[in-house]
Amino acid sequence: MPALEDVLAKIDANQPAALERLFNLLRIRSVSTDPAFKDDCRKAGQWLVDELSALGFEASLRPTAGHPMVVAKAKSGRSGVPHVLFYGHYDVQPADPLDLWETDPFAPRLADAPQGQRIVARGSADDKGQLMTFVEACRAFKESGGLPCDVTILFEGEEETGSPSLPAFLEANKAELAADVMLVCDTSMWDRATPMITTMLRGLALEEVIIKAASRDLHSGLFGGPAMNPIRVLSRIIAGIHDDQGRITLPGFYDGVSELPEEVAAQWREIPFDPKAFLGDVGLSVPAGEADRSVLEMVWSRPTCDVNGIIGGYTGTGSKTVLPAQASAKFSFRLVGAQDPEKVLESFRAYVRSKLPADCRAEFMNHGASPALQLPFSSEALSRARRALQQEWNKEVILGGGGGSIPIVGEVKRHLGMDALMIGFGLDDDRIHSPNEKYELSSFHKGARSWARVLDGLAD
Ligand code: BES
Ligand code: MN
Ligand code: MN
């Protein structure tokens, strides 16, 4: 096994070339949700296959019903070492609104900032920059004599659309993907100097509701009054979901939501977190969640219901005196603990139906549902990773939560019975999914160094 110092030095020396490689990946417009970018998604997958093959991995592009998966394997050549499965996603969110980008989202560049240089491009932090930290760590090991663990890599191209092809793929390739532990690089650090291992992730249930009333759009002078307006119905439905304390009123919604273990609650209370700054950074000042919860709890360990969009009636320029025949809204629920996504959706649908006046109907369209994820707060792999991160960053590692969702983590637990270690180097101000997404150069560089230390620590 190569000496860790040599591997770290190799990563340092490889930095300029590593950045070039990442830029090449960032230039590929792998937007998974839009069929117009189907070929680009394939191209990004193939780029990774080529890159990993060149590193000596046995790599291939695997077709699915949607965008292809990348699977790559390399052995350490040593016995008795752990086998890790590393996961990342090569797909990205749409770049729009385009006019809010300072430069072309798919023309990556380095920008100067007071804290240091940053990489600006769609996908720089979510997730191409992050997944390349692991690839660069593997490269450095390979160039220094070999990998310390057996490594399987799985890169997905549909994470940003809820990973529709993943469950079937995991089921069909169970044996091939089996490993001792999964490593995921798709989460954040606590702050730019403090590493974090994410031990809980919120789940996500997505449901669209269409309220239909009259058989066609109506003149609001001829029919206004007697005819029910579906936008009015929808508004009442939306308004009734939260009470004045910010709690969600759906019957049974909080079933399965539990309080944090005291030791975790205690660590969270001690984390230097400034809710004013957190909200101030996005132009807000007063937390809108449950009145009796801290902001950290609101994003890490409490469930939510959000309306992500409302559609209905005339929204063009000028005015139109119309009573629309239908109105719709897109809802998302962030779930925690043991909340059952199906039960939440059932309760939601029953609530919507209960609010329907005469002559109105509701239609539902599901866009996916996954439960929340709670990983053990202690395990051998977690302690080793913790020590490795501490050595790189010289800081106590935070065991935190993540407000977002990563479908694979729950699916791998279900299909392969394997827990994940979620270690990421993103920052809260990376603007993922937003215009001018960036990834700190320090995240990219020290992220690769961190993975080298983690792999070394797991193998030791
Ligand atoms: N990487 C994010 C999730 C994330 C971000 C977790 C920051 C923890 C910290 C992931 O790519 C993402 O955006 N997930 C979506 C999932 C959805 C599209 C199914 C999400 O959370 O909205
Ligand atoms: Mn991601
Ligand atoms: Mn994302």
The CATH label, of 3.40.50.300, 3.40.630.10, 1.10.10.10, 3.30.450.20, for the domain at 4-201+373-459 is: 3.40.630.10
Report which DSSP code applies to 18: H
Answer yes or no: is the C-beta of 402 below 6 A from any ligand 1 atom: yes
Q: Per-residue DSSP letters for 215-269?
A: SS-EETTTSBTTBPPHHHHHHHHHHTSB-TTS-B-STTTTTT--PPPHHHHHHHH
Q: How far is the CA of 201 from the centre of ligand 1 (A)?
A: 9
Q: How far is the CA of 310 from the centre of ligand 2 (A)?
A: 25
**Which residue's CA is minimally distant from atom 4 of ligand 1?**
404
Answer yes or no: is the C-beta of 126 below 6 A from any ligand 1 atom: yes
Q: Buried b vs exposed e over 352-377: b needs ≥16 C-beta within 10 Å?
A: beebbeeebebeeeeebbbbbbebee
The ligand with the least distance to the CA atom of 187 is 1
Domain boundaries in the chain? Answer: 4-201+373-459, 204-257+303-370
pLDDT tens string, the chain, 460 residues long: the values are 889 999 999 999 999 999 999 999 999 999 999 999 999 999 999 999 999 999 999 999 999 999 999 999 999 999 999 999 999 999 999 999 999 999 999 999 999 999 999 999 999 999 999 999 999 999 999 999 999 999 999 999 999 998 989 999 999 999 999 999 999 999 999 999 999 999 989 999 999 999 999 999 999 999 999 999 999 999 999 999 999 999 999 999 999 999 988 878 888 888 889 999 999 999 999 999 999 999 999 999 999 999 999 999 999 999 999 999 999 999 999 999 889 999 999 999 999 999 999 999 999 999 888 889 888 878 899 999 999 999 999 999 998 888 788 989 988 988 999 999 999 999 999 999 999 999 999 999 999 999 999 999 999 8
- Give the pLDDT of residue 265: 87
pTM for the model stands at 0.87
The answer to whether the CB of 443 falls within 8 A of the CB of 135 is: no
Two tokens at 298?
Answer: 């609101």
Q: How many residues does the chain have?
A: 460
- Give the pLDDT of residue 1: 80
**Which residue's CA is minimally distant from atom 3 of ligand 1?**
404
Answer yes or no: is the C-beta of 165 below 6 A from any ligand 1 atom: no
Which one-letter amino acid corresponds to residue 36? A
- Would you call 330 helix, strand, or coil by DSSP? strand
Find the helix or strand (DSSP H, E) in which 311 lies. Answer: strand 304-312
Residues with CB under 5 A from ligand 2 (ion): 126-127, 186
Two tokens at 33?
Answer: 């949700």
135 φ, ψ (degrees, to nearest 5): -60, -40
Answer yes or no: is the C-beta of 93 below 6 A from any ligand 1 atom: no
Q: How far is the CA of 57 from the centre of ligand 2 (A)?
A: 24
Q: How far is the CA of 407 from the centre of ligand 1 (A)?
A: 9
Two tokens at 363?
Answer: 């239609």
Beta bridge partners, 152, equal 73, 85
- Give the pLDDT of residue 404: 86
- Would you call 174 helix, strand, or coil by DSSP? helix
The ligand with the least distance to the CA atom of 404 is 1
- Give the pLDDT of residue 388: 98
* Cα–Cα dist 297/289, whole Å: 10
Q: How far is the CA of 364 from the centre of ligand 1 (A)?
A: 24
The CATH label, of 1.10.260.40, 3.30.70.141, 3.30.70.360, 3.30.70.100, for the domain at 204-257+303-370 is: 3.30.70.360
- Give the pLDDT of residue 378: 80
Answer yes or no: is the C-beta of 404 below 6 A from any ligand 1 atom: yes
* Cα–Cα dist 130/175, whole Å: 26
- Give the pLDDT of residue 278: 93
- Would you call 323 helix, strand, or coil by DSSP? strand
Answer yes or no: is the C-beta of 162 below 6 A from any ligand 1 atom: yes
